[in-house]
């Protein structure tokens, strides 16, 4: 996977949501309000947050990552709450 943008969040709830939205918008070169999808229509972030029980910076009880497509970008959230985004031009077609 060719990583385009990444970051990590210090708090979980809205910060993770906002981090995903802004990282995808940055990768696409648009304002977050110009994205064509709503994040909560694409993925259940409560389920993602509950999967990795630990808080950011703490040891998670589960290791791994969750990936999904949001507004044409591949988004990966890992057990340390790091967000990686691959823009549409780098996402392989199904």
- The pTM assigned to this predicted structure is 0.74
Query: SS3 letters for 11-74?
Result: CCHHHHHHHHHHHHHHHHCCCHHHCCCCHHHHCCHHHHHHHCCCCCCCCCCCCCEEEEEECCEE
Mean pLDDT value across residues 17-30: 95
Q: Which of 6-10, 21-25, 31-35 has the lowest average pLDDT?
A: 6-10
How far apart (Å, rounded) are the C-alpha atoms in residues 92 and 94?
6
Can you give the pLDDT at residue 35? Answer: 96
25-69 pLDDT per residue, tens: 999 999 999 999 999 999 998 888 888 765 556 666 778 899 999
Position 76 confidence tier, pLDDT thresholds 50, 70, 90:
very high
78-94 pLDDT per residue, tens: 988 899 999 888 666 55
């Amino acid at each position: 996977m060719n990583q385009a943008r990444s970051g990590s969040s210090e708090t979980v709830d809205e910060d993770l949501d906002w981090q995903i939205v802004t990282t995808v918008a940055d990768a696409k070169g648009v304002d977050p309000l110009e994205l064509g999808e709503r994040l909560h229509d694409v993925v259940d972030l409560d389920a993602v947050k509950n999967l990795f029980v630990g808080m950011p910076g703490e040891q998670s009880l589960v290791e791994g990552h969750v990936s999904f497509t949001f507004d044409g970008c591949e988004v990966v959230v890992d057990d340390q709450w790091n967000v990686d985004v691959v823009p549409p031009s780098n996402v392989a077609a199904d």
